Structures are given as C-alpha cells and as structure tokens.
Amino acid sequence: MIRRLVPRLIGLAPVRASLTRGPLATAIVDRFVAGQTDADAVTVVAGLADLGLRATVDLLGEQVTRSEDAVATVEAYRRLLDLADRAGCACGLDVSVKLSAIGQAVPHDGRKLSYENAAEIAAGAAAVNATVTLDMEDHTTTDATLDTVVELRRDFPSVGAVLQAQLRRTEADCRDLAREGSRVRLCKGAYREPAAVVCQGRGAVSAAYARCLGILVAGPGYPMIATHDPALISVASGLIEQVGRASDSYEFQLLHGVRQAEQRRLAARGATVRVYVPYGPDSLPYLTRRLVERPANLLLAARAMGERRAGATGSARSMRWSA
C-alpha cells in the first residue's frame, strides 16, 4: 500500500517542491546522488576505489524527445569517461545508460538514433578500458532494449544488460542471456507496472529474483547481483558457493548511499562489489523510484537532514563558546 501511495504523494506540487528544493531535497540528493557534475561523479568513483569498490556511473535524465538533447547526453558521457581516465580511475569503470536518454523516444528514428549513440558511448568506454551497461526501463521498452544489447555486442561484447525480476517474462530472458561472456545485472525492478506483467507482492518478487539468480549463477555468463535484501544476498552467496564460482566471475551491486557497511563487508570477503553512482541535475525521477522501491529511504534522508542540522548547531555553539 505504501508503494502505491508514494507516487501519488510525489505527484502533489508541495511534495514535489520539497523533493526538489529546500533542506529535505538537499538531504535526499546528498544521500543518494553523487552530485550534479561529472567531476562530482569522478570524485565519488575515486573514493570508492580507495575502499576497494568499483562503480557504475549513471548520468540522470530520461525520456529525451529531441535529437540534440540525446547528443548532449552522449557528449556528457564522453566527458565523464575522459575525466575518469585522466583521474586514473577509468579502467574497470562501468557506465549505465538509459536508451530513452540517448534518443529512443525521439519521433520517427529514435531506435536507430539510440543505437548509434549507445555505440558511440561504448566505443569511448572501450578506449579507456571501461564498459557500458544498458539500463532497463519500463516493460514497454524491454524487447527494444534487449535487441539493442544484442546488436551492440557484435562490436562491443562486454556491453551489459539489465533484467528486472518483478516482470513475469524475466526467467525466460535469463535463460536467453545466461551465455558465455554475457554480463547481466539482475535487480528487483522499481518501475510501476500493470498487474498483468509483474509478480504481485514483495514475497513473490523475492521468490522470482531467487529463481532468476539461480539461472544466472548456474550459467556461464557474468551475473551482476543488484540487491540490498539480506536474504537474497545470502541466497546468492549460497548459490555461488554451491556451483564453485570464482570470485572474479560475478559481482554484487549496491546503490550509492545505501548500506555502505554491507558494501565493505562483501568486499572484505573477496567479492567484487560495484556501487551504482547516479549524478546530474535531473534527479527527481531517479529519487522517486528509490522512494517507491523502498519508502524507508525517505527516513534515511530525513535522518541525514537531522544530523546535518545538529552538526550545524553544534558548530555554531562551538564558535560561540570559543569567541
């Protein structure tokens, strides 16, 4: 019920305003978004590398309907990759790209435009030993996105795909994609979808995730296990041990700003851990999905806002006491 209520609340003008400006907005963005610029993103990537963690960077923004805006997004990714290379943290970096951000929704030739733009980003990534993963969006784009992954892999075999366990079709997609060299990120899914195409209820989605995970872990591909659910992380660890996968043949993925201690714990156990790092000024759609997916994230942000205020009050008192 809460998950259904959150989108309605965010649709209200006062709530949207609180999420886009003011202290709560600042707390939410600081918690879950790396910043507005590519320099902000690279700073976070470098900090994660110092902790033994990898990153996949996502330039926020989607549903572009003008070709010039799509081209601007491609240029931004190229700048990001160049800056990461100059900072010495491009090798092993991944960038997450939404096809709707690079032209898929442009009228008439969107499919062709988004493919060409994705290929340009993939070429830029390959030049600095980075990779690209095509993010999945709502279910109406699943086939087109997976088709584009197949096309891109002809020239860039390392291009990754994303599958959402909440969709009923995903087990079949896992079987299709569990191939040698195939990189597949499995997430639960944060888009609101029609009841006919998704598993109903958290328990059903978790069960579907576990089934999909079993297919990917048993296959010869490279599973990217994107979840914060302790039970599913435990299931994944058990499956990995059962089939005897090498530590470099899979990875865990967790969101920036969420369960940092778990990120470090998994890395300390020898697993590859990659943090999903979003950045950019257009953060509201992303933050909305995070709140719909897990309303408790709002509590984390509110707590951070309280800590920031307490810290500011404490600093002011210190200044008064020292004066």
Question: Catalytic residue positions?
Answer: 135, 185
Among candidates 158, 179, 167, which has minimal Cα distance to 204?
167
Among candidates 316, 312, 314, 278, which has minimal Cα distance to 23?
312
Amino acid in position 229? D
Among candidates 239, 223, 142, which has minimal Cα distance to 189?
142
Cα radius of gyration (the chain): 20
Query: What are the strands of the beta sheet with 251-255, ordered from one edge?
Result: 131-135, 94-98, 54-59, 273-279, 251-255, 222-226, 183-187, 161-164
Residue 45: both structure tokens together = 């990537």
Residue 267: both structure tokens together = 């890395």
Among candidates 250, 296, 290, which has minimal Cα distance to 274?
250
- Which stretches of the chain are assigned E, i.e. beta strand? 54-59, 94-98, 131-135, 161-164, 183-187, 222-226, 251-255, 273-279
